[in-house]
Amino acid sequence: MSTASSARMTTADTTEAPLLQVRDLHVEFRTREGVAKAVNGVNYSVSAGETLAILGESGSGKSVSSQAVMGILDSPPGFITGGEILFKGRDLLTVGREDRRKIRGAQMAMVFQDALSALNPVLTVGYQLGEMFRTHKGTSRKDAKTKAVELMERVGIPGARERVNQYPHQFSGGMRQRVMIAMALALEPDLIIADEPTTALDVTVQAQVMELLADLQREYNMGLILITHDLGVVADVADKIAVMYAGRIVETAPVHELYARPAHPYTKGLLESIPRLDQKGRDLFAIKGLPPNLVRIPAGCAFNPRCPMAQEICRAEVPPLFAVTEADGAELAGRGSACHFWKETLHG
């Protein structure tokens, strides 16, 4: 299938084997209303030092797939029903629970969206940072606190020495997110998954936090998966983007190419729905309709009921991730589109 070949193509660009490789991942939620298929055959890979942005609306499966990678999927009702998650060549789905726990935090870590609710309100920030060292390395309480101060300084929290004994609610939103990043960073993991790390922040602070993440990633040569619904956030930071819709990756591309020339009608719609200044006075563009109910995903291409280009084939056949090429057939590295009419979309 071209899905697999294009995934391999992407990884072939980097010299070594990718740090994380997700292959044909399926996740479903068994609920009273039926089985919600949240992730349906997702493939992606991240190498050390690389940033992959996973873009999608709420309910597109972007968070669920990352929870599956972290191994923090709520189960029940969530179940991984197929696929492989290869982390440093080892399939995490076959790793025992205790080993998996040791990987979390130490080798892969996560930055959560809302730092206020992701930090324990009754424990001091210093304690929670130090906890990383104490659970994984058995560091003493005192040394853990020293390391917590160092970490806070490294993520740019002023007055770290005094603030280490404060509680999360005494920090501003941006500072709290820095604490979350410091926690994720504590044991210098190889992979960080940031789940909408800036959604809860002011625009000015967003930029600072993104910059911090990008700097640290470069410094430690980590793989970074950036989950977001905000096209603006990823533009400067990500290397490549995977756009998700209804549990599938519908388009992959290097970041600037995706912005310049989308090869999927959904991506195109997303880009067009960003409000622009020169648009003043005109109606804002919106993709018509709603994302599908995951219990009843439409047959064929899941986007077909909302797609301006939908034809008969879109209602009948699920499009695989086609390798995207120039009009003359020249290869476009790392590009793929799950649209029967990607050519028409790309070349207009």
Partner 1 sequence: MPDQNTDPADDPMGTEVHSAFATPTPNLASMESEQLVEREQLEPEDPEDKDNLEDRDDRQRERARSLWQDAWRDLRGNWIFWVSSLVIVFLVIVAIWPGLFTSTSPLACNLSNSLQGSSSAHPFGTDNQGCDIYSRTLHGARASITVGFFATIGSVLVGAVLGGLAGFFGGWWDAILSRITDIFFGIPLLLGAMVFLTAIDSHSVWIVVAFLVILGWPQIARIARGSVITAKQQDYVTAARALGAGNSRLMLRHILPNAVAPIIVVGTIALGSYISLEATLSFLGVGLAPPTVSWGIDLSNAVQVFRNAPGTLFYPAAALSITVLAFIMLGDAVREALDPKLR
Q: Should residue 196 be labelled a site residue for partner 1 when binding is judged by CB under 8 A?
A: no
- State the angle between helix axes of 173-185 and 125-137 in degrees (0 to 180), rounded to the nearest 10: 10
Query: Is position 93 an interface residue for partner 1 (rule: CB under 8 A)?
Result: no
CB of 225 to partner 1, least distance (A): 13
Residue 133 as a binder of partner 1 (CB under 8 A): the answer is: no
Answer yes or no whether residue 124 interacts with partner 1 by CB under 8 A.
yes
Nearer to partner 1, 162 or 283 (CB): 162
Piece of the chain touching partner 1 by CB under 8 A; list 13-21, 180-188, 243-251, 330-338: 180-188
| Cβ 133 to partner 1 shortest distance, Å | 11
Contact in structure between 235 and 229 (CB atoms under 8 Å):
no
Q: Where are the alpha helices (DSSP H) in 186-235?
A: 203-220, 231-235
**Closer to partner 1 by Cβ: residue 109 or 250:** 109
Q: How far is the CB of 331 from partner 1 (least distance, A)?
A: 38
Specify the stretch interacting with partner 1 by CB under 8 A; choose among 43-51, 166-174, 278-286, 300-308. 166-174
Minimum distance from residue 52 beta carbon to partner 1 (Å): 18
Is position 273 an interface residue for partner 1 (rule: CB under 8 A)?
no
| Residue closer to partner 1, measured from CB, 74 or 283 | 74
Of the candidates 103, 157, 210, 216, which one interacts with partner 1 according to CB under 8 A?
103
Q: Which is nearer to partner 1, 180 or 307 (CB)?
A: 180
Number of Cβ within 10 Å of residue 67's Cβ equals: 22
Cβ–Cβ under 8 Å, residues 92 and 100: yes
264 phi/psi in degrees, rounded to 5: -135, 135
The answer to whether 209 touches 228, Cβ cutoff 8 Å, is no
Structural Rg of the chain based on CA atoms? 21
Binding to partner 1 by residue 167, rule CB under 8 A?
A: yes
Shorter beta-carbon distance to partner 1: residue 119 or 307:
119
Query: Does residue 88 bind partner 1 (CB under 8 A)?
Result: no
On the question of a cis peptide bond just before residue 76, with omega within 30 degrees of 0, the verdict is: yes
Within 10 A of 243 (CB to CB), how many other CB atoms are there? 27
Q: Which of 16, 162, 283, 328 binds partner 1 (CB under 8 A)?
A: 162
Instruction: Please provide residue 287's backbone torsions phi and psi, each rounded to the nearest 5 degrees.
Output: -70, 125
Q: For the chain, give me the number of helices (H) and strands (E)?
A: 14, 12
Question: In angstroms, rounded to a whole number, what is the distance separating the alpha carbons of residues 100 and 70?
Answer: 9
Contact 198, 112 (CB under 8 A): no
30 binding partner 1? (CB under 8 A): no
- Binding-site member from 5, 140, 165, 311 for partner 1 (CB under 8 A): 165
- Whether 52 and 249 have beta carbons less than 8 Å apart is answered as no
Task: Return the SS3 of 170.
Answer: helix
Q: Does 286 bind partner 1 (CB under 8 A)?
A: no
Helix 141-154 × helix 173-185 angle, to 10°: 120
How many residues bind partner 1, per CB under 8 A?
Answer: 35
**Residues of this chain that bind partner 1 (CB under 8 A):** 70, 72, 101-106, 109-110, 112, 114, 117-124, 128, 131-132, 135-136, 162, 165-167, 169-170, 180, 183-184, 186
